[in-house]
């Protein structure tokens, strides 16, 4: 009888920890979402032109909405942490460089290897590993 009660207690404690992690993660995600919209509200383009500023503000808002909606149904804690890290990185890079767009990644073109074969698969794997954190949500171009 004692072991059943102990197992029930452990199960409740484990579920509570998981719930706390979910609540903390939810608060982090909502905080990032609010922070992005605050940044967009006060965004000033590097060129100082009104048209550029409006385009960049619109880009920030639409990109944030699209990515948050895309990842809305994630339940894996590790995947959520990766998305949070990507979001924080993009915010910091955007504020530092005053450019809201993701920085391009410069990798060699894939024209040297045949479309079928070991070299092509190796180049694909290397490109995937070299992809920076701030471009994880973007599809391969």
Distance in angstroms (rounded) separating the CA atoms of residues 39 and 23: 24
Residue 103 DSSP one-character state: P
| Pair (38, 88) in one structural domain | yes
Stated pTM of the model = 0.68
Residue 70 predicted with pLDDT over 70: yes
**Per-residue CA distances from 133 to 12, 21, 75, 93 (Å):** 36, 23, 20, 11
Find the domain containing 62 and state its range: 2-101
Determine the average pLDDT of the residues in 6-32: 65
Please give the share of the chain, as a percent, with pLDDT higher than 90: 40
Q: How many domains is the chain built from?
A: 2
Helix (H, G, I), strand (E, B) or coil at 76: coil
**How confident is the prediction for the chain on average, in pLDDT?**
78
Distance in angstroms (rounded) separating the CA atoms of residues 58 and 135: 19
Distance in angstroms (rounded) separating the CA atoms of residues 56 and 88: 18
| Pair (24, 61) in one structural domain | yes
* Tens digit of each residue's pLDDT (9 = 90 or more) over 107-122: 566 555 566 777 777 7
| Pair (17, 75) in one structural domain | yes
Inter-helix orientation angle 2-42/50-70, to 10°: 160
Distance in angstroms (rounded) separating the CA atoms of residues 66 and 113: 34
- 138 and 90 Cβ atoms separated by less than 8 Å: no
| Pair (90, 116) in one structural domain | no
| Pair (82, 130) in one structural domain | no
| Pair (8, 35) in one structural domain | yes
- 112 and 122 Cβ atoms separated by less than 8 Å: no
């Amino acid at each position: 009888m004692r072991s059943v009660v102990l197992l029930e207690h452990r199960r409740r404690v484990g579920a509570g920890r998981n719930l706390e992690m979910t609540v903390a993660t939810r608060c982090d995600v909502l905080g990032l979402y609010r922070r992005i919209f605050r940044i967009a509200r006060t965004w000033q383009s590097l060129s100082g032109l009104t048209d550029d500023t409006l385009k960049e503000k619109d880009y920030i808002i639409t990109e944030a909405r699209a990515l948050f909606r895309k990842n809305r149904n994630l339940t894996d804690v590790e995947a959520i942490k990766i998305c949070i890290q990507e979001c924080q990185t993009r915010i910091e890079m955007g504020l530092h460089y005053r450019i809201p767009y993701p920085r391009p990644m410069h990798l060699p073109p894939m024209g040297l290897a045949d479309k079928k074969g070991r070299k092509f698969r190796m180049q694909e794997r290397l490109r995937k590993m070299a992809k920076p954190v701030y471009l994880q949500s973007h599809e391969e171009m």
